[in-house]
Amino acid sequence: GARFAVCLAAMWAISRVSILRIRSATPLIYAVSMIPLLAVFVLGTGKYGRQWLDLKLFYLQPAELLKVSLPMMVAWYLHRMPLPPRFSTVLTSAVIIGVPAGLGMVQPDFGTGVLIAASGAFVLLLAGLPWWWVGVAVGGVAAAAPVAWFWL
């Protein structure tokens, strides 16, 4: 009950913030959400890997923060670029997506890492990424998946 009320109040408060303010704060939100993801390697706990931070009041899985902040960051980057995205824009976006996705996968949490990557990739797709690029990327991921599964 109390946690629900706190979360409901937080959602209401965030909904009152101007979208322009959120857009200008997106790089900071992304950077701040990366800090706990890195902290997991030092302070993390978990049964099968270091995926959680024990904050005493609750456990936090930092990768969940990236499922929101990563698409925001990719959209923030793309909003200043010509659309559909050019190859150089896609490469920069791939770095923005790949760093947290890779960190998520080596925690080890392969599934969450894939979901983080997908959340950013969908922004690229919605920005008008050519479908044949999507096919090449899916083929590359399919080829790399067995190796990633074995090593991660």
**pLDDT-above-90 percentage for the chain:** 51
Residue 10 pLDDT > 90: yes
Structural domain range at position 65 = 19-151
Within-domain flag for 4 = no
Take residue 46 and report the two structure tokens written for it: 């978990």
Within-domain flag for 44 = yes
User: How many structural domains comprise the chain?
Assistant: 1
Query: What's residue 29's pLDDT?
Result: 96
Query: What's residue 46's pLDDT?
Result: 64
Within-domain flag for 2 = no
Residue 47 pLDDT > 80: no
* Per-residue model confidence as pLDDT tens digits over 51-87: 777 777 777 788 889 999 999 999 999 999 999 999 9
Within-domain flag for 9 = no
Within-domain flag for 60 = yes
How far apart are alpha carbons 137 and 90 in whole angstroms? Answer: 11
Q: What is the DSSP letter of 53?
A: E
Query: What's residue 53's pLDDT?
Result: 75
* Per-residue model confidence as pLDDT tens digits over 12-28: 999 999 999 999 999 99
Task: For the chain, give the mean pLDDT.
Answer: 87
Within-domain flag for 11 = no
Within-domain flag for 3 = no
How far apart are alpha carbons 100 and 30 in whole angstroms? Answer: 10
Within-domain flag for 69 = yes
Q: What is the DSSP letter of 45?
A: B
Measured CA to CA in angstroms, residue 15 lies from 9, 30, 73, 115 at distances of 10, 18, 18, 25
